[in-house]
């Protein structure tokens, strides 16, 4: 009898609940470890490395400073009479929250960030990847709570499962980019916004509604501090305030006030450093069609009209975003059913109202992405991903509604239908795991051990230049200037001591070396063509010595002396 009662308890009692939770956690842990071992080859994104090196400056007590120096930043500071030869070059391009969070993750391994030449995966990269995985699970849990609030447990569980099977979510978790942090914050913003609306509808104490509104505004402010383009969420949310609240004006003013108060430290920082509340990002936004972010940062023109064709830029970006939308949403089947769900009359008034607000916020974000540019499915400005959880929730609810209208009486058919959704959405992740690890490093263009060795060949007070200064700043921990637009500008910065010491090294990689020949003759690297193609007369060049570096000599280091021969 005791044995039978135990079995019954395991099957349907409290033990069953804990057993299912335990098994789920065990499976999830196994998948996480497998994905990490198979897929993680170190950081591979410019923005991720840039923010990681800022995080290291923070834990090194150097303040919000950077070792990645942009020629445009030098020009902006020079134009307002600020010194550019400071020991700690000020950072006024990246939003601050993600580097601050990464600094917390890097703190325990602070003394192990220097990468040995025998390793291909640095401790700093590992710490940032672990942080990303934690944010992934935290974000899915928060959105599970959101789904419970606007729908039911069935929708919440299916949506959470679909998110955990979306390969793009895992890729971002290992990327070092702020999108997973944004997903977590957006979930908290949604919970607080729904709570504030619920509180007012139930005519609770006005103080409760006030608190939830304040928390929502703080959350939106934190999102802007994690990625400035998320400021384009605000118009959609303010529409929610004006459409959904009785105390419209007071709630509207309160939201704007708390939001501005939250982002004010970063605005004040930028004004103090460069007299521009948006920092360097405004120059990217004002660049016209055909002008890349790299072109802007390498150039010396600080005028507002960096290029014509803003309308063309918007048109091209909108077409590109539309063409790749499903890819940007992780090829998740449920996510694409968000749009048809707009036309369905959900029973919950809160769910019906919030989907329109989500649509408005998504449209605002699309404009922001068009303004700043999206480089691909995994890139710093690809922010469609932060809408993936809410799209999946609404898409899942809509798919279940459609299924229920078919009136199939067999539960097995329903399970087969749900399983097919999981199979289609999870296929990219399954294929990723089956394919296994394709390489040990993110080549091309990154060879972390041979970037890190620059930290041994050059002293901390020396200045380097490169076509990938973000990687030199992160792996070698050395100040590195983005390759200026012209050799003349390069020589001026070095000869006049613009950054203090002269430039003693130039590290070139496949980023410039694999440019089409026409770009080396007529394009953005035309002035550097002979240096990149290794045909330059060294007698006429600032740096007289050079050595090819792995892999297959595709990287090259020009230097003032043969530092690679030193012991």
Q: What is the pTM of this model?
A: 0.93
How far apart CA 226 and CA 243 sit, in angstroms, is 28
Closest CA to 244 of 352, 338, 342: 352
How far apart CA 249 and CA 257 sit, in angstroms, is 12
Q: Please, which residues have CB within 8 angstroms of residue 228's CB and are 6 or more apart in sequence?
A: 95, 278, 281
| Dihedral sign from CA coordinates of 444, 448, 453, 454 | positive
Give the model's pLDDT for residue 204: 62
Q: Residue 552 — pLDDT band, cuts 50, 70, 90?
A: confident
Question: For 258-285, what is each residue's pLDDT tens digit?
Answer: 999 999 999 999 999 999 999 999 888 8
Give, in order, the Cα–Cα distances in Å from 185 to each of 127, 217, 356, 386: 21, 11, 20, 9
Question: Is the model's pLDDT at 304 over the cut of 50?
Answer: no
**What is the residue extent of each domain of the chain?**
185-279+324-433, 448-565
Question: For 142-193, what is each residue's pLDDT tens digit?
Answer: 999 999 999 999 999 999 999 999 999 999 999 999 999 999 999 999 999 9
How far apart CA 168 and CA 32 sit, in angstroms, is 14
Share of the chain above pLDDT 90, in %: 72
How far apart CA 245 and CA 350 sit, in angstroms, is 12
Q: Please, which residues have CB within 8 angstroms of residue 437's CB and are 6 or more apart in sequence?
A: 37, 38, 39, 41
C-alpha gyration radius of the chain: 26
Question: Is the model's pLDDT at 128 over the cut of 90?
Answer: yes
């Amino acid at each position: 009898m005791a044995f039978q009662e135990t079995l019954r308890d395991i099957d349907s009692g409290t033990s069953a609940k804990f057993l299912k939770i335990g098994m789920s956690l065990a499976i999830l842990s196994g998948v996480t470890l497998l994905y990490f071992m198979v897929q993680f080859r170190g950081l591979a994104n410019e923005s991720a490395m840039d923010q990681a090196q800022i995080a290291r400056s923070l834990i090194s007590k150097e303040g919000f400073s950077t070792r990645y120096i942009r020629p445009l930043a030098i020009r902006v500071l020079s134009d307002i009479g600020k010194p550019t030869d400071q020991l700690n070059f000020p950072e006024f391009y990246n939003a601050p929250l993600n580097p601050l969070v990464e600094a917390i993750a890097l703190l325990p391994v602070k003394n192990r960030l220097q990468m040995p030449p025998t390793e291909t995966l640095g401790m700093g990269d590992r710490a940032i990847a672990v942080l990303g995985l934690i944010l992934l699970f935290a974000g899915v849990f928060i959105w599970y709570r959101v789904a419970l609030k606007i729908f039911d447990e069935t929708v919440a569980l299916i949506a959470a499962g679909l998110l955990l099977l979306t390969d793009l979510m895992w890729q971002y978790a290992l990327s070092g980019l702020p999108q997973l942090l944004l997903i977590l914050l957006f979930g908290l913003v949604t919970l607080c916004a729904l709570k504030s609306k619920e509180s007012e509808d139930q005519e609770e104490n006005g103080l409760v509604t006030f608190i939830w509104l304040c928390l929502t505004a703080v959350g939106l402010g934190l999102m802007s501090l994690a990625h400035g383009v998320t400021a384009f969420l605000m118009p959609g949310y303010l529409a929610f305030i004006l459409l959904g609240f009785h105390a419209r004006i007071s709630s509207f003013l309160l939201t704007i006030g708390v939001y501005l108060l939250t982002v004010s430290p970063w605005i004040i920082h930028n004004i103090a450093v460069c007299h521009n509340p948006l920092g360097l990002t405004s120059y990217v936004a004002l660049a016209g069609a055909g002008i890349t972010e790299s072109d802007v940062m390498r150039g010396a023109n600080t005028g507002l009209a960096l290029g014509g064709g803003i309308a063309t830029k918007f048109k091209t970006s909108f077409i590109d975003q539309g063409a790749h939308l499903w890819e940007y949403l992780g090829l998740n089947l449920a996510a694409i059913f968000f749009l048809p769900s707009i036309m369905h009359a959900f029973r919950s008034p809160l769910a019906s109202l919030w989907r329109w607000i989500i649509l408005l916020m998504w449209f605002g974000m699309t404009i922001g992405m068009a303004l700043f540019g999206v480089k691909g499915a995994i890139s710093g400005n690809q922010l469609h991903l932060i809408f993936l959880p809410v799209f999946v929730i609404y898409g899942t609810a809509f798919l279940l509604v459609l299924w229920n209208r078919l009136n199939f009486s067999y539960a097995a058919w329903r399970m087969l239908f749900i399983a097919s959704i999981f199979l289609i959405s999870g296929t990219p992740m399954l294929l990723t795991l089956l394919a296994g690890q394709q390489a040990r490093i993110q080549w091309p263009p990154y060879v972390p051990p041979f970037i890190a060795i620059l930290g041994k060949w050059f002293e901390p007070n020396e200045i380097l230049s490169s076509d990938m200064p973000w990687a030199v700043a992160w792996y070698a921990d050395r100040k590195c200037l983005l390759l200026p637009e012209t050799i003349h500008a390069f020589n001026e910065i070095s000869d006049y001591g613009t950054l203090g010491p002269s430039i003693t090294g130039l590290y070139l990689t496949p980023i410039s070396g694999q440019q089409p020949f026409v770009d080396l003759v007529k394009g953005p690297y035309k002035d550097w063509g002979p240096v990149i193609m290794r045909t330059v007369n060294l007698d006429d060049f600032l740096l007289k010595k050079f050595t090819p570096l792995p892999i297959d000599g595709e990287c090259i280091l020009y230097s003032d002396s043969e530092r690679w021969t030193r012991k």
